[in-house]
Structure formats: C-alpha cells, structure tokens
Chain A
C-alpha cells in the first residue's frame, strides 16, 4: 500500500551513494500456494519404502514404470536431424504442415468443415497454450458472454486459465460421486438452463480427472441441448487416441457436434498421445462460417500470439507433423498409441480382478467403465491417507489415481492395499 511506497521513496532519497539500502519492491508479494500434486510427488520421493507407488503422475509410464519415448518419435527425430534444417522463425501461426495435419486428425479427412477450408488452426504451446489462446480470443471477440461453464469437476488448470484470460467460471453437474460415473440427468438439467450464447467447455474424451466419458447416445443428447441453448462449444481434446486406442472413436464427439452444425472451438495436445510432453506441441482450432471468416479469425489470433511469445517452438510440431504426414510413421504411431491405451485398459481390468480376488465386496465396475489416464476410485480422503501412510501409495486426496502409474508388478499390491482400507 502507500506506506510501502513511502518507504521506497525515503530509502531512495536518503540513501548514500556508496551503499544502497532499498527495501524491496516485493515485500508484499505473497508466497504462492504449493502445488498439491507436486506435494504428492515430493512426499513420494522422500519415502524409503521399496513398495512405494506414485499414482499422481500425469504422464504415461510403461510396464516397468519408465517414461516411454515412442519409436515413431525416435524415427522422426532421426529424420529431422539428418536433414540439418535451419532454425529460422516459424510463422506466428506455426508450422503449416503441422496445423493442417492437426485439423485433419481432429476433424477427420472426410469432414466437410476440413475439406471446405472453413476452419483456422494455429499452433499452440501444447494443450495449455492452445486453451489460453482460445480463452484470450473469446475474451476479445466473443461479446455475448463472459461465462465459461466447466464440468464439475474439471482439470484444475482450466479455472485459472480462463480467469487470467478475463472470463468468469461457472459449472454444470458432471460427475456423480455416488455411482462414480456420469450424472447425465444432472448434466442435461444444468446445461438446459445455461443462458444462451454462453461458453461451455467439454472434454472430448478421457475426462480429466474422473475418466468418466459420455456414451455416444449421451453425446447426441448433449449436442442437441447445446444446440438448442445456442452455446459456444469449447472442446478440450488432450487424449485423442490415448483414450480408447482409436483416434476416430476418441474424436467422435467433436466430429458429431460439427456435423450437427455446431461450429466449435477446439484445443489439442500431443503431450500424451505422442509422448511429446516437454516439446509443447498443440493446436487451437476455430470452425468458421467460411474460409473468408477463417482468414479474419486467423489474423486476430496472430495479433494475440505475437505479444505472448512471438511465434511457437518448432521441435515438437515438426516431430508431430512428420509422424502425421508420413504414411509409415503414421501407421506406426497408431499402433503405438493403441498399445499405450491398451496397457492402461489392461491395468484397469487387472486392478478390478485383483480386488475381486482379494475378496472385496464393493462394486469396482467404474474402474473399467472409466477411460484414459485417470481414474476416480471413489476412495475417501481418510482412506487415501491410510493408503499413503500404511502402504506408501501416493495419490491426490480426491481419490484420483493415474492408471499410468500402475504396472503388472504392483497392481496386485495396489488391489491389496485398496481392499485393506475399504473392507
């Protein structure tokens, strides 16, 4: 406040030339709250129990618990290295081959919207950066509403992203903790009451953090009510291919909405489905009325991007582009992404069968009904705490586990531990 300013002035005017003794500009800056997930990882690292498990990790692990670099990625990298390309700036909107392939991947090669060119796709800094560009764009150009409706719960970072972009957050019912599945009635009820022309965010597949996705018939009804309410649909697709193992199946909802005449906006991430986490490959797409509108929208997206980071990083986009645009590599990628999805699905199946073997009388069907990296187990905070204290199993307090952190060597231990705290 003003007394701090007065201090600064006094110290500036009164101090000697030889020894500056400012108080700091930052005295009033609060320490930011510790990241809850980071806290879990830190505690895990400190634990000396050889049986410990880190189920907070938001990155894929192979069956040995190790990070997995896809073979198609290694091949693409070798190809790139051999070409000895220069390092000139990318255009503001990113690598054209990448953005075009990204749109095609999401929309499907037969999509009318794609073929007609009535879309714009810009490269973004993975999922977060793409979400943020979209949020900023809507704040500036979507004048009908300031409200973004998120499913309850949603990815923790959605709220601060939209807030920092200058929008307001609302929620619609989504997860039913009683059944550990979709509260479809609640969702439909809430969405049918959302003020017209508000923005609604939907997870395209592998909902984070619950793993609960609508079935196709449910998606159809959601599309219908969204259309009736004339809502601006923002799809977040961070797991295409990674959820079911089938890229077309995972993009079904996005494509269905567009076919129903809903011109969505979409953010994509290649962090998980190509294992490109730290390379920050992503894209933001706006489905437009026509190609002319797409050009106008693109020009404004560039105006937003330039003061953020000028132009995007090339490495991840070039790898992804090479994979998507080279038939052999693309085929290999589809096999590899399916194998990651299959391993996750297999861990879910084994966890449930092991729980049954342990003699658990609870219904654990939601574990196999849910999809993607994360699973809302339904465990209560006290039970989570016991898992950590007694078994050195680490997860977030909401009972969410990352199935990627489960391996054949420890799924039995996990089942045993869960049974102990829930019997």
Chain B
C-alpha cells in the first residue's frame, strides 16, 4: 500500500497560551490560579457576558423580522461605520472628509490579516513581499504569523521593552525607526500593549509620529483594548487619532472581543484612513476581492450586537459603563497586587504593575521563577513573565503576592 500523502506532515507544537490553559485545567490543586489567557474574568473568576450584550441579544432574538441572509462582503454597513467612528471619534475630520473606509473582519486577527494581505499586494510597488514589517519586541506572538502567512518575507523587531528599567525603551524604538528602510510597515499597539502593558505617553507618541513621517513609515495600528485599558474610549484612541490628525494614511485593526466581551463571535473592523475618498474607495474594492477568497462575507451575529449597541444612545451609555466596570476592576487588582508586594518587601521595584495598563502586566519574573510559580505554586503564567490581571481576584491576591515573593527571593 502506498505511503500516505500526509505521512510527512509533522506534528506542530501547540500554541503556548492555549497549552497553558490546558495544563491549568488538568491541575487538581485547589489553590491553582490561571494568569494566562487574555480574557476578562469577574472577581469570582468567571467569564462575564456584558449586561448590555445580554440585553441586545434578547432584542435580536425577539426580532422576528431578522433573518440569516448573507452580509455584504465588506460586512454590516451600520457596524462598519460605527466601529470606525468609535476608533476615530465622532468629530473626526477624516470621517467628515469621507476618507475613511471600513472592512468588517473576523476579530482583530481577521482584520489584521485582511490589512496584511492588502499591503502585500498593493503597498510599496505591487506584490512587494520584501517590504520590511516591524513588530515590537516583544509583541503578541500571532503578529509574526499573520504577516508571514500574508506573504511578507522580512519581519523584523523594533526595540520596545526595556527589561532593566521595566519600561519603554523609547530611545531604542526611535533609533530603530530611524534606521528602518523607508516605507517599512510598523505594527503599533494603539493602547494596552500586549504583552508588556507599557504604552508610550502622548509626548512619546508625538516623537514616534514625527520620525515615522520623516522616514515615510506606514503605521498599522492594532487596537484590541479600546476602552478596556483606561476605561475611556477617547483616551485609549488618542494615539490613533493623533496620527490621523498628523495627516498619516494608516490602517487600524480593531477587535471587539475584549471591550464587548464578544470573544467567540469574532467581531472586528479594519479602519482604513486615506488621503481622499477616491483612494479609499479603490482600496476597499481590492479588499473586497481579498475577503471574497478568505471567508466570502463575515458572520452577522456579533456585528449586529455591536451595531445595535453603538447606534442607540441608551445602549451606548450602558456599554461604556460596562467597559468601565471591567477597566476599573483591572486597575483595582493592579493597585492591590502592587501594595501587597511592597508590604511584603519583595525585592525589586513594583511600581510598573500600576504604571502598566490594560489586561497584561510584564512582571519581570524570569523563566526559572515562572517555572517555580507553575510547578510549586500552581499559578499559571507565560514564560515571559506576562500575567493577565483579570485572573486575579480578591480571594487569590494574597496567595499570588506571597508566591511571587517566594519566587523572587528563592530563585534567581
């Protein structure tokens, strides 16, 4: 019998963050804590469906006039327009000038992918797979794969996290941008940098924008936490809006997984800001072709929920309130963890825990200390030392703080 055509297919390694959760599930220790996967948890450690989402789902379920017909290729129009409005602001001049386009994508990932596929075909000369794509060091691990699978051959890193001072390496970042070939693509985290939780200040963003403008670098924003980071939609969109006001053409991949808690509905939006309406229309027409061969048209449920919420003043207010609830709990856990570590006298400085923002914190724990946390304390976190603040609760704060203290004092 002939050998199987797939005999040579190697077993791929599992995605690290999901393996972590799988290991956590199998752990029988009652003290276990999961500080791995990036999803919001309540103070009871449970997933949280936003009350406004439940309400809107009931509205949708009760609306007999709705059917399951195909959405247009680029997505639900009310979703697209309002999603971009959330990113750019109600009073965005770019929107008023009709030079903003939107593509509904499957989550932030899907939106990134469509943007990447478009850039590979149309940016910097046609079909230019050699254009360098820069991702921050470190970054969300899937960024590399998205751009690689889209066909880019040259993916590089720009300095970002300064492990010694546990903050932004601004000088290194600006330096790398100065040295980058003109027209390079830079993936920028709009807010709540994943995995470090460290964002540039507005002043630092201004410096970044100045260099990018001078060097003709293309800004591709990844905005997965708008509202979730500071609790304010506008504050979290400041960087994107600043770049728009500086005249950049840019892409912004938005995710509504976290700020709407719609993880499994795959709701995202690629906002395209161009010089004028004509350019944007042509760009959208080509993105349509890309979408058509990837998923034909996007799923409707999540987009309906978001559109319904964003177009109703009352529901919109409720949503902002729900978002603030999540952001506030995270902020509380940050301050509680930091104060415990400082009370314990844990060696090192811990202000970075409250300086950082969003779901994640780069604790500064090294791989050996992380291993100790997992094996000895049954506290699951990424080898990078990244923790998901949402995994902390008032019940486990003491245990986690004490465990970090042990890890830092026992292991070097």
Contacts and interface: CB of A to CB of B under 8 A. Distances in A.
B213 interface: yes
For chain B, what secondary structure do more than half of its interface residues adopt (helix, strand, loop), or is it mixed?
loop
Interface string B99-119: 000000111011001000000
A78 B265 contact: no
A387 interface: no
22 contacts: A2-B125, A12-B213, A20-B247, A20-B248, A32-B285, A73-B68, A86-B48, A88-B264, A92-B18, A126-B296, A129-B294, A143-B8, A161-B293, A197-B5, A276-B68, A278-B70, A286-B6, A297-B9, A300-B10, A310-B106, A311-B266, A315-B299
Interface string A123-160: 00111110010000000011110000000000001001
Contacts, number: 245
B61 A308 contact: no
B264 A84 contact: no
Interface in B256-295: 257, 261-266, 274-276, 279-283, 285-286, 288-290, 292-295
A89 B17 CA distance: 13
Contacts of A27: 279
A233 B183 CA distance: 43
Contact of A313 (B123, B261, B265, B292): B265
Interface string A52-69: 000000010000000101
Contacts of B48: 86
Contacts of B312: none
A299 B12 contact: yes
A315 B61 contact: no
Interface of B: 2, 4-15, 18, 37, 39, 46-49, 53-54, 57-58, 61, 67-71, 105-107, 109-110, 113, 122-126, 142, 145-146, 148-150, 182-183, 213-216, 218, 246-249, 257, 261-266, 274-276, 279-283, 285-286, 288-290, 292-302
A77 B71 CA distance: 19
A92 B279 CA distance: 35
Given A84-B54, A127-B296, A296-B9, 9 more contacts: A12-B215, A20-B248, A21-B247, A28-B122, A67-B69, A87-B265, A125-B294, A164-B290, A278-B69
A278 B283 contact: no
B149 A26 contact: no
Given A84-B54, A307-B148, A279 B68 contact: yes
Given A81-B61, A157-B293, A299 B249 contact: no
A304 to B, nearest CB: 7
Given A12-B214, A295-B11, A296-B11, A160 B292 contact: yes
B249 A25 contact: yes
Interface in A76-95: 77-78, 81, 84, 86-92
